[in-house]
Structure 1
Amino acid sequence: MSTTSTPEAATPEPVPAASGARPRRTFGLAAATALVMGNIIGGGIFALPATVAPYGTVSLLAFVVLSVAAVLLALLFGRLARRSPVTGGLYVYPRDAFGEFSGFLSAWSYWTMCWVSIAALAVAVVGYVDVLIPLGGDHTLEALVALAALWLPAAANFAGTRWVGAVQIVSTILKFVPLLLVAVVGLFFVDADNFGPFNASGQSATGAVAASAALLLYSFLGVESAAISAGEVRDPERTVGRATVLGTLASALVYILGTVAVFGLVPHDELVDSGAPFADAVNAITGGGWGGTAIALVAVVSITGCLNGWILLAAQMPYAAARDGLFPAPFARLGKGGVPGFGVLSCAVLGTILIVLNYKEGPDTAFRVLVLITTFTGCVPYLLSAAAQLYWLAAGTRERVRPAGLVRDLTVAALSFAFSFWLIAGAGYAAVYQGVLFLFAGIPVYVWLRGRRAGAGEPAHEHGDTTP
């Protein structure tokens, strides 16, 4: 497949992809933007300020760097969605460029990231529920709260994608407006003494930025939401790119303002041990507990809405791959509401297992471990998608394209690849080790599925092939 010969862009023309069932175009620009924002702004903004506080205020610099990286990824996915405006996104792009195995690895890694991320989000709810209903440090009770936070949105997903879009708009409004107000108002109450040391990690500043950025990436996971669900988006060639960039920019603004406010409102030594940093920040503004209680309620709604969207994404990726025979067949079955029910159920079950296995040492440790695993498993499909764009651009350089457009797209793709590689390195040895084990565990599944298809005489999708 070559790039378009029109002078406007260096991105290939849209073509049908193997994953394409008949599109169900239920998301307009508002719903798609809300889906992106709703999946980005969730547990991250409410839980991560305390998680990165041990690194010092250098993590604020990491937030700025990561915001730039997220916008680059948003631009990348917008360009790629012009070529393949179908459900599956980060699975479709590597598969079309490099063949089935690359597509499978991307889908498997992203699917792994989804259910690990879902488990982490459910754990993030616990600290804010504890503000509303004191749990007394009982790990069993806390785990039950996390499991309830996981299963309620999973059950709601069976109602269908139209309901998911509606829930995303409502939950995004409920959390975005008060979060922005808190961030802006909080800046007037900031005490410079609360920020603490610039680098409290004991390592070099560059090392601290990389390490904190690896944790903070979790707060930007979801930038690809509209691209993954492109089959449900109206006019995806234009809408996906616009929704992704708008949602990412708005989320980055809220993140940076909110995190600065939290760092300046809560003393550093208290922030390090906080289970609900935004609630503590609001208490510092209001001088009492009612403000913290209100923001805790908003946080619970926010994270629940984020889980609602993430569970849909977790089902959409294997759905697209299963239609190509690269995931077990049950993942391709749609329920009455148009949702891949088996994908929803499997993510809920696997998330439950992760929560149970990682909750022995409490929510803080469980959250940190799960977040770092998502960094690795999330960056693998980012890397492969950036590589796919580089491939399509290189394969089409002999076509007539505007040089400025080619340079722009090459720059975005190359920087997206570099940022993803840097974030994987920042995740640390333990997260990379566990992530690689999760990734390689999928290879026997691919071998089994490929072998069954070969035995049945079904042809494989060749390099660059985009037909079923």
Structure 2
Amino acid sequence: MTAPEAPAAPDGQSRHARTFGLPVASALVLGNIIGGGIFLLPASVAPYGTIALVAFGILTFGAIALALVFGRLAEKHPETGGPYVYAREAFGDFAGFLAAWSYWITTWVSNAALAVAAVGYLDVLIPVNDHKWTACLAALVIQWLPALANFAGTRYVGGVQLVSTVLKFAPLLLVAVGGLFFFDPANLGPFQASDSSAIGAVSASAAILLFSYLGVESAAVSAGEVRDPRRNVGRATIIGTLGAAVIYLLGTLSVFGTVAHDTLVTSTAPFSDSVNAMFGGSWGGTAVAYAALISMVGALNGWTLLSAQTPYAAAKDGLFPKVFAHKRRGVPTVGVLVTVVLASSLTVYNYAAGSSGVFEILVLVTTFMATVPYLLATAAQIFFLASGQTQRVNRARLTRDAVLAVLAFAFSMWLVAGSGYQAVYQGVLFLFAGVLVYAWMAARKLRA
């Protein structure tokens, strides 16, 4: 990354732009991973039975493998853009564009899903779910508040991310650790509650649960804004992913063991229900609802920044409209604006359509779209290793990196299979729509 592209560069607004050190970069990864997913996903996978816990364990190993691959790739290519940069370097403009396009769609569909999840916890505090348009308005407000923080500059993005990450840990640890003391095996329900096969149930629940691990690439995508990225991006990625994995596994197990299965299947705020079951009354559930909202707003704050970073990197190379390449106060503000408008439009559409299971639908589409840049990034790492383009290392490290890349690639393919026909169908439509955009941008680049 060249010096003029760093957020601390003189642009007349350097007072509002800051590079991220290891603590903030780790908080960005941890805060983006532990966003809204953990607070709603136990209820989303409960219909599959406790076999979902098996899926969570497998998913955790896959997420750690992805995190290690992204850390190694960032050492070689410490530029803003993450999977886009790696795919373009390995396979050319078209592969890079597909990575950027699919990751961009992942971010704004994910933001819509996070907002819908946040409304479920807001309803614990204020009854907003009684009417769909009240819930829709609440979801829109929740999306636009983090966007305003992004418009203020990276200095404020990092501050909000650090504070929200710290504040969310108390209630998460309360459920993750305290719930084990109230654990009742009778609440677990059947091991396999769905009609599908065991392999199908694990794959389907893992596809939903992947949403909770989206964000392992956060530091890599924002590498240009991280101080000493060759050293800190990999460390932040591993620290954030391992921290999230521990909290996820303990938290999900505790919710399954403290909330009766029949109640959990229909819950819109499973962590609040868990705390209420542990201590009685509603005060605990109310406190968790506040924490969940803080967590989700913090996650939206980080995801909103990420949603603008990949189009920014692609626009610098002429593969996205040039307007996406403008930064203000260290933030690609046009990318932020376009993303929040698209996410808001998708939110309104889903509420207007009256679709049941809005969160699950958005999650599965997000999962499929996320696997595209993951597949391209892991394939790029395999290409770099096989072609000898990595730094000279000993044979043991080279073998380890190759095994991790293959495992991460296979893991991503497995997630595509588990996304389901509907999500793959909608995701492919989104993906193919980008081919027309690429044709237009490539033609303009060639003429220029």
TM-score (norm 2): 0.96
Separation in 1, partners of 2:242, 2:248: 10
* 2:111 corresponds to 1:118: yes
* 2:312 corresponds to 1:328: no
Separation in 2, partners of 1:250, 1:271: 25
1:360 is displaced (CA, Å) by: 4.0
- Give yes or no for contact 2:51–2:202 (8 Å, CA) kept in 1: yes
- For this pair of structures, how many residues does the alignment match? 439
CA offsets per residue over residues 195-215 of structure 1, 9 Å max, x none?
A: 000010111111101000000
Alignment match of 2:343 (pick from 340, 345, 351): 351
Identity percentage of aligned residues: 62
Residue 81 of structure 1 is matched in structure 2 by: 74
Residue 395 of structure 1 is matched in structure 2 by: 387
1:20 is displaced (CA, Å) by: 7.9
CA offsets per residue over residues 159-206 of structure 1, 9 Å max, x none?
A: 111211111111001002321122101111011110000010111111
The amino acid of 1:31's aligned partner reads: V
Separation in 2, partners of 1:454, 1:333: 21
Alignment match of 2:447 (pick from 418, 431, 455): 455
* 2:293 corresponds to 1:309: no
The amino acid of 1:63's aligned partner reads: F
Residue 149 of structure 2 is matched in structure 1 by: 156
1:135 is displaced (CA, Å) by: 2.3
Moved more, 363-372 or 401-410: 363-372
Residue 178 of structure 2 is matched in structure 1 by: 185
More helix by share: 2
Residue 465 of structure 1 is matched in structure 2 by: none
1:398 is displaced (CA, Å) by: 10
- Give yes or no for contact 1:373–1:435 (8 Å, CA) kept in 2: yes
Structure 1 stretches of at least 4 aligned residues deviating more than 2 Å after TM superposition: 19-25, 360-364, 397-401
CA offsets per residue over residues 59-100 of structure 1, 9 Å max, x none?
A: 011111111111101100000000010111110000000000
Residue 421 of structure 2 is matched in structure 1 by: 429
Separation in 2, partners of 1:71, 1:294: 31
Alignment match of 2:311 (pick from 308, 318, 321): 318
Separation in 1, partners of 2:406, 2:242: 20
Separation in 1, partners of 2:352, 2:181: 40
TM-score (norm 1): 0.91
Alignment match of 2:5 (pick from 17, 21, 25): 21
The amino acid of 1:366's aligned partner reads: V
Separation in 2, partners of 1:221, 1:203: 26
Residue 280 of structure 2 is matched in structure 1 by: 287
Alignment match of 2:204 (pick from 206, 211, 230): 211
Residue 91 of structure 2 is matched in structure 1 by: 98
The amino acid of 1:367's aligned partner reads: F
* 2:291 corresponds to 1:298: yes
The amino acid of 1:21's aligned partner reads: E
CA RMSD in angstroms comes to 1.6
Separation in 2, partners of 1:250, 1:453: 43
CA offsets per residue over residues 314-372 of structure 1, 9 Å max, x none?
A: 0001000000000001110112x221111001111100111111124668611111000
Structure 1 residues 20 and 409: CA distance shift in structure 2, 3 A? farther
Residue 67 of structure 1 is matched in structure 2 by: 60
* 2:356 corresponds to 1:372: no
Residue 405 of structure 2 is matched in structure 1 by: 413
Separation in 2, partners of 1:292, 1:391: 49
Separation in 2, partners of 1:421, 1:135: 39
Alignment match of 2:167 (pick from 160, 174, 186): 174
* 2:333 corresponds to 1:341: yes
1:155 is displaced (CA, Å) by: 1.2
Residue 258 of structure 2 is matched in structure 1 by: 265
Q: Secondary structure at the match of 1:68?
A: helix
- Give yes or no for contact 1:50–1:271 (8 Å, CA) kept in 2: yes
Residue 233 of structure 2 is matched in structure 1 by: 240
The amino acid of 2:131's aligned partner reads: D
Separation in 1, partners of 2:312, 2:241: 25
Residue 127 of structure 2 is matched in structure 1 by: 134
Q: Secondary structure at the match of 1:270?
A: helix
1:22 is displaced (CA, Å) by: 3.9
The amino acid of 1:396's aligned partner reads: G
Alignment match of 2:215 (pick from 205, 218, 222): 222
Separation in 2, partners of 1:61, 1:413: 23
- Give yes or no for contact 1:126–1:146 (8 Å, CA) kept in 2: yes
Structure 1 residues 270 and 363: CA distance shift in structure 2, 3 A? farther
Separation in 1, partners of 2:351, 2:306: 25
1:445 is displaced (CA, Å) by: 0.9
Separation in 2, partners of 1:38, 1:400: 34
Structure 1 residues 229 and 363: CA distance shift in structure 2, 3 A? farther
The amino acid of 2:21's aligned partner reads: G
The amino acid of 1:448's aligned partner reads: W
1:427 is displaced (CA, Å) by: 0.2
Separation in 2, partners of 1:264, 1:399: 48
Structure 1 residues 398 and 261: CA distance shift in structure 2, 3 A? closer
The amino acid of 2:349's aligned partner reads: L
1:399 is displaced (CA, Å) by: 8.4
